Amino acid sequence: MIEVSNRASDAFENEGKRAYRARHLEVLRDQAPELWTDDPPGRLRGAWLELMGSTGWRTLKLLTGANVLSPSSFVGADLDHDRIDDYRRRYPDARWLTGDVLDHVESPELHDVSVIHFDGYEAAGSTKFDHVGEQLGVILRRAVARHGAAALLVNSDLDATRLHGQQPPAALRRQAMTLAAVLAGASTARREVTPETLLPAGAETAVGSRGFVGLLGAFEVYRGKNTGHRMACCRVVLR
Ligand SMILES: C[S@@+](CC[C@H](N)C(=O)[O-])C[C@H]1O[C@@H](n2cnc3c(N)ncnc32)[C@H](O)[C@@H]1O
């Protein structure tokens, strides 16, 4: 049975977020055949990196429940030490990292990561992504070399951009430009990643309408709660 929490009080534990997590698997199955094993069938190659918060265990349950991953191939990270200590007690077979994961890209826990779910809720288009991208690029390059492919799932807060004096369309375009720069450095020449491959030219105007949710290129714009900010998740497979 699907558990549905109170949308009014929890931004991450609700039906919208559950559907969002499930779509990661749909996209990976559809777009990244290299990342799935034949023997045993239906298992993900490599490890999954997740920013945890209080609800990242739901991703762990989704992956292990669907037999896509064993717990030992799940790496959970969070800035909050107590939170990670608690997770370590609850799920001792998974791998756990405390502190800024961007400072740990060379750590052994991350050596075989093939999927990064970077779900930090930064504002879309934030300059923070410049640094995030540089560091995640290290993991992605390693994954492409090791597994032949890598997937990056980056979630950002689309409507928070207004608080930073930027309108959602401009923020989404900037997000596409930043991610394309990171990804271009991490993929091989076989597939060029440009801002337009992530977000077709002009597509960003759609998010100027506050009611818009849906797919725009590699971005999914969704609402995690009935009322509240829209999120923009970019899902990209690199080769
Ligand atoms: C929105 S929550 C994650 C939700 C979870 N992925 C889920 O599916 O429910 C974001 C968490 O990411 C953590 N975080 C943000 N940036 C981080 C970083 N650079 N390194 C480690 N943790 C980070 C924050 O501490 C926060 O608890």
**pLDDT tens track for 155-183:** 999 988 888 788 999 999 999 998 898 78
For residues 20-29, give the mean pLDDT. 95
Q: Ligand 1: which of 5, 7, 14, 52 to mutate, judged by most atoms within 8 Å of the beta carbon? A: 52
Q: Is the CB of 56 under 6 A from ligand 1?
A: yes
Give the pLDDT confidence score for residue 72 in this predicted structure: 98
Q: Is the CB of 78 under 6 A from ligand 1?
A: yes
- Phi and psi (nearest 5°) for 37? -90, 155
For residues 21-43, give the mean pLDDT. 93
Q: How far apart are CA 51 and CA 207, in angstroms?
A: 26
The 3 state secondary structure assigned to 42-109 is CEECCEEEEECCCCCHHHHHHHHHCCCCCHHHEEEEECCHHHHHHHHHHCCCCEEEECCHHHCCCCHH
**pLDDT tens track for 190-218:** 567 899 999 999 999 999 998 999 999 99
Q: How far apart are CA 79 and CA 75, in angstroms?
A: 14
- Where are the domains positioned within the chain? 15-238
Give the pLDDT confidence score for residue 1 in this predicted structure: 32
Query: For residue 200, is the peptide bond before it cis, meaning its omega torsion is within 30 degrees of 0?
Result: no
Q: Is the CB of 79 under 6 A from ligand 1?
A: yes
Give the H or E element holding residue 151.
Answer: strand 150-157
**pLDDT tens track for 128-157:** 877 787 788 899 999 999 999 999 999 999
Q: Is the CB of 13 under 6 A from ligand 1?
A: no
176 in Cβ contact with 195 (< 8 Å): yes
In this prediction, residue 187 has a pLDDT band, given cuts at 50, 70 and 90, of: low
Q: Which amino acid is at 188?
A: T
In this prediction, residue 87 has a pLDDT band, given cuts at 50, 70 and 90, of: very high
In this prediction, residue 10 has a pLDDT band, given cuts at 50, 70 and 90, of: low
Give the pLDDT confidence score for residue 116 in this predicted structure: 97
Q: Is the CB of 87 under 6 A from ligand 1?
A: no
For the cut 70, the answer to whether the pLDDT of residue 8 exceeds it is no
Give this prediction's pTM. 0.92
For the cut 60, the answer to whether the pLDDT of residue 78 exceeds it is yes
Homologous superfamily (CATH) of 15-238 is: Vaccinia Virus protein VP39 (3.40.50.150)
